[in-house]
Homo-oligomer: A and B are copies of this chain.
Amino acid sequence: MLSALLAPGARALEQTDPLPSWNDGAAKQAILSFVKETTDQASPKFVPPAERIATFDQDGTLWVSHPMYTQVMYCLERVAVLVKAKPEMAKAEPFKTVLQVLKGDREALAKLTMKDLEVVLAATLTGMSVDEFNAEVKKWITEAKDSRWKRHYTELTYLPMQEVLKYLRANGYKTYIVTGGGQDFVRVYSEATYGIPPEQVVGTAGGTKFGYRKDGKPFLTKEPKLLLNDNHAGKPEGIHLMIGRRPYAAFGNSTGDQQMLEYTKSGDGARLSMLVLHDDATREYAYGPAQGLPDTKVGTFTQALYDEAKKQGWVVISMKGDWKRIFAFE
């Protein structure tokens, strides 16, 4: 009676499916079994609460990243704002090409090289104060909409993955984003969008420089100096730098996540490594090129990665087969 008073919803909760947007199958079962094994005190694979760390890639794992990464869209659209302040920029490459892209010229987008993109990123992500940058991103993310669904980007998170985040947290896991995207960018909306506070976002990070305003107030300026390239080997390196513990569970969707999944899975006890396969052209997008899916440069999932997943016991999530619903707005 007393325990019922203290936790009135406990019994009801136990009987509720924590992953209602998942179809029954190997992927859903792998998540449920992992949580059961690591949180049951009687289990030989019990993990003390303090060590329960789970890491999630963002682009293509937690939200839509096609046809282009959201942060790249921010940087491209930001060029238009910069050009207003400095009209001479419009004549110089790569900004000239970016302005064509913004006018709807898809072919112009393909012309941009990685080097061009780096110039655009440096111009739009550095050189301002941290507070100014945060304010700009906050404004953009609440206004900008994607081209297909005409919805805010933060509405394009995957409901099944939001359920996994909540389910893990309800079981004592600390959830982290470990993204190839910009750490400062994602931190602006991570708490409202995923329930993940800024300090639990690990991402590609540049240096900042401490200085003083004219009135003597200290501030930080974003510098064009790369500290952490949080992709491929940079993901486990970033996890060590920012968290200092090996995760028990890791979720990704592309070759950039491979080393994070290897690092996670090679720890002792129960470890969960999962990959989202985008095989649903109708409800979202279909790309690989694993399993004969169309090739892409945005979030590549190679056949080699697919084969390693099968060999290492990682679980591949089929968006088409495993997810009952993809978006909350459906």
Taking Cβ atoms with an 8 Å cutoff, the residues of A that contact B are 2, 5-6, 50, 53, 130, 174, 183-184, 187, 191, 197-199, 201, 205, 207-210, 217-218, 220, 227-228, 233-234, 236-237, 240-245, 259, 262-263, 266
B237 contacts A208, C-beta separation under 8 Å: yes
A209 to chain B, nearest CB (A): 7
B218 contacts A263, C-beta separation under 8 Å: yes
Report the bound CA distance from A207 to B238 in whole Å. Answer: 9
Measured CB to CB, the nearest residue on chain B to A243 is B199
B130 contacts A50, C-beta separation under 8 Å: no
B209 contacts A245, C-beta separation under 8 Å: no
Please, could you name 25 A-B residue pairs with CB atoms under 8 Å apart, sorted by A? A5-B5, A50-B191, A50-B197, A174-B199, A183-B244, A187-B244, A198-B243, A199-B244, A199-B245, A205-B241, A207-B237, A208-B237, A208-B241, A210-B233, A210-B237, A210-B259, A217-B266, A218-B236, A218-B259, A218-B262, A220-B236, A220-B240, A227-B228, A227-B241, A242-B242
Q: Which residues of B contact A5 (CB under 8 A)?
A: 2, 5
Q: Which 6 A-B pairs have the closest CB atoms?
A: A198-B244, A210-B233, A199-B243, A187-B244, A218-B262, A217-B266
- Which listed residue, B130, B201, B237, B262, touches A240 by the CB 8 Å rule? B130
Q: Which residues of B contact A217 (CB under 8 A)?
A: 266
Q: Which residues of B contact A183 (CB under 8 A)?
A: 241, 244
A250 to chain B, nearest CB (A): 12
Number of identical monomers bound together in the oligomeric complex: 2
A181 to chain B, nearest CB (A): 14
Report the bound CA distance from A210 to B241 in whole Å. Answer: 12
A210 contacts B198, C-beta separation under 8 Å: no
Given A199-B245, A210-B233, A210-B263, 9 extra CB contacts under 8 A:
A6-B6, A53-B199, A174-B199, A187-B244, A199-B242, A207-B241, A218-B263, A220-B240, A227-B227
Q: Which residues of B contact A263 (CB under 8 A)?
A: 210, 218
Known: A236-B210, A243-B198, A244-B201. A218 touches B50 (CB 8 A): no
A55 to chain B, nearest CB (A): 12
Report the bound CA distance from A210 to B209 in whole Å. Answer: 28
A237 to chain B, nearest CB (A): 5
Q: Which residues of B contact A209 (CB under 8 A)?
A: 233, 237
Measured CB to CB, the nearest residue on chain B to A245 is B198
Q: Which residues of B contact A174 (CB under 8 A)?
A: 199
Report the bound CA distance from A60 to B184 in whole Å. Answer: 32
Report the bound CA distance from A31 to B266 in whole Å. Answer: 45
A226 to chain B, nearest CB (A): 11
Q: Which residues of B contact A53 (CB under 8 A)?
A: 199
B218 contacts A266, C-beta separation under 8 Å: yes
Which one of A50, A240, A244 has the highest number of Cβ atoms from chain B below 10 Å of its Cβ?
A244
